[in-house]
């Protein structure tokens, strides 16, 4: 192949004229772009081309394809699919778990009052704003991932925004840990609310709910970064013959598989957290219906864990004076949970409610917590099976009516 043929092959691949001249001059230093003259008419037919010894005619001008360009496009498709799956997974976790828990905590500590609680509420509102910012960045990550798959963005855009999200999530985790520790330890634990302040452990940033998103983001960043570096365009074309269609089609197949299985895994994890396997409820009586759900926080060896939440979905309302709530953990003994009334209650479990009308009405939620006894730490199987019996007591007759029995898996 002479210089002119090499130049024409680069033009056929889509390179600009000035780039084609520069690349050709690297291989053929004496090459200059000359005007193409019209071919003179010939009366004699041209002889058929004869293959020269040692030279294969299989390598034609139209077959020269730049390997770096085709591989880069394929790797971009795969890295973009990873970015989409990562963003969807973190979006689900942030919106359904982290933001929901933060909003609940803001409401709870706003009602508590006092300077330490006000400081914590301010920190929680800052975290809520940062979580909305992270959601916006994740939506942007999905957009850049799509552009990367279509080869419409620079190679470093996707790893750059992924790294930015990671820094934000790590910062949120650190801020969450220092804010919680300041409330429970530096500002002084309120013994009227928590019966075992001296036993509370410091919260590490690595154990926060936000950091779960950081782990997912960091894991994805490793693959996105490596694939992006590998897809970085080379300054010089490679003359190795390669079929671009094979690379691109294979990349699209891999990308589709990654996105399908990634989305399915995200849905299953979300369903497991929101509707744990093993949760059961029989039909309520007297028109009452209740539903229960595990608390978002994971269990540990302490004796003040929040176990679960129960919502009245249907009914005429109950007076707490006539309410009876009993729990059985992993087939053990019955524990009757008393309504939390301050430091005078001790042992077993307590019921916490954040309103003051002494009634439990439709749509309202009560929380069942450990109260000085480690009823469930998640050891062994990693979860506890809690059977909750809700009854209404008629103190005039001394008889009780079981309204509903719930079985809730607590992690």
* Model confidence pLDDT, tens digit, residues 165-220: 999 999 999 999 998 888 777 655 555 555 555 555 677 888 888 898 899 999 99
Last residue of a domain, one of 274, 300, 320: 274
Q: For residue 156, how far is the Cα from the chain centroid?
A: 22
On the question of pLDDT at 125 being above 90, the answer is: yes
- Mark whether 128 and 207 lie in a shared domain: yes
Last residue of a domain, one of 274, 294, 322: 274
Structure tokens at 78: 């795969």
- Mark whether 93 and 174 lie in a shared domain: yes
Structure tokens at 161: 């925004």
- Mark whether 251 and 314 lie in a shared domain: no
- Mark whether 75 and 132 lie in a shared domain: yes
Q: Tens digits of per-residue pLDDT, 133-154?
A: 999 999 999 999 999 988 898 9
Domain count for the chain, please give it: 3
Last residue of a domain, one of 274, 298, 319: 274
Instruction: Read off the pLDDT band of 67 (50, 70, 90).
Output: very low
| 256 touches 119 (CB < 8 A) | no
Domain assignment present for residue 397? The answer is: yes
What pTM did the predictor assign? 0.54
Instruction: Read off the pLDDT band of 343 (50, 70, 90).
Output: low
Domain assignment present for residue 45? The answer is: no
Domain assignment present for residue 58? The answer is: no
- Mark whether 336 and 393 lie in a shared domain: yes
- Mark whether 193 and 253 lie in a shared domain: yes
Q: Domain span at residue 386? A: 280-410
| 98 touches 125 (CB < 8 A) | no
Domain assignment present for residue 153? The answer is: yes
- Mark whether 75 and 121 lie in a shared domain: yes
CA distance 345 to 359: 20
Structure tokens at 167: 């820094």
Mean pLDDT of 267-285: 59
């Amino acid at each position: 192949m002479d210089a002119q043929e090499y130049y024409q092959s680069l033009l056929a691949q889509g390179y600009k004229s000035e780039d084609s001249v520069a690349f050709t001059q690297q291989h053929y230093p004496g090459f200059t772009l000359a005007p193409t003259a019209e071919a003179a008419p010939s009366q004699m037919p041209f002889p058929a081309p004869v293959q020269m010894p040692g030279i294969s005619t299989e390598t034609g001008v139209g077959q020269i394809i730049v390997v770096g360009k085709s591989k880069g496009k394929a790797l971009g498709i795969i890295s973009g699919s990873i970015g989409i799956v990562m963003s969807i997974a973190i979006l689900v976790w942030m919106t359904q778990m982290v933001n929901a828990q933060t909003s609940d905590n803001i409401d709870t500590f706003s009602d508590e009052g006092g300077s330490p609680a006000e400081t914590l509420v301010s920190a929680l509102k800052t975290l809520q704003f940062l979580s909305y910012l992270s959601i916006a960045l994740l939506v942007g990550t999905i957009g850049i991932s799509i552009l990367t798959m279509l080869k419409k963005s620079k190679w470093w855009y996707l790893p750059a925004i992924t790294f930015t999200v990671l820094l934000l999530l790590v910062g949120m985790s650190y801020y969450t840990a220092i804010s919680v520790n300041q409330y429970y330890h530096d500002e002084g634990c309120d013994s009227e609310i928590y019966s075992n302040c001296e036993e509370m452990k410091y919260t590490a940033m690595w154990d926060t709910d936000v950091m779960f998103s950081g782990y997912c983001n960091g894991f994805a960043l490793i693959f996105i970064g490596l694939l992006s570096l590998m897809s970085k365009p080379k300054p010089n074309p490679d003359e190795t013959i390669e079929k671009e269609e094979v690379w691109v089609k294979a990349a699209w197949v891999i990308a589709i598989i990654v996105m399908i299985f990634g989305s399915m895994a995200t849905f299953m994890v979300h369903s497991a957290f929101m509707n744990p396997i093993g949760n059961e409820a029989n039909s309520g009586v007297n028109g009452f219906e209740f539903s229960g759900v595990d608390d978002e926080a994971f269990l540990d060896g302490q004796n003040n864990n929040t176990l679960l939440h129960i919502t009245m979905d249907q009914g005429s309302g109950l007076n707490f004076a006539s309410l009876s709530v009993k729990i059985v953990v992993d087939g053990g003994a019955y524990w009757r949970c008393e309504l939390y009334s301050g430091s005078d209650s001790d042992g077993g479990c307590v019921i916490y409610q954040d309103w003051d009308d002494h009634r439990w009405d439709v749509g309202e939620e009560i929380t069942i917590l450990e109260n000085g006894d480690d009823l469930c730490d998640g050891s062994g199987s990693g979860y506890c099976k809690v059977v909750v019996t809700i009854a209404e007591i008629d103190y005039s007759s001394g008889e009780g009516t079981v309204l509903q029995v719930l079985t809730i898996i607590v992690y």
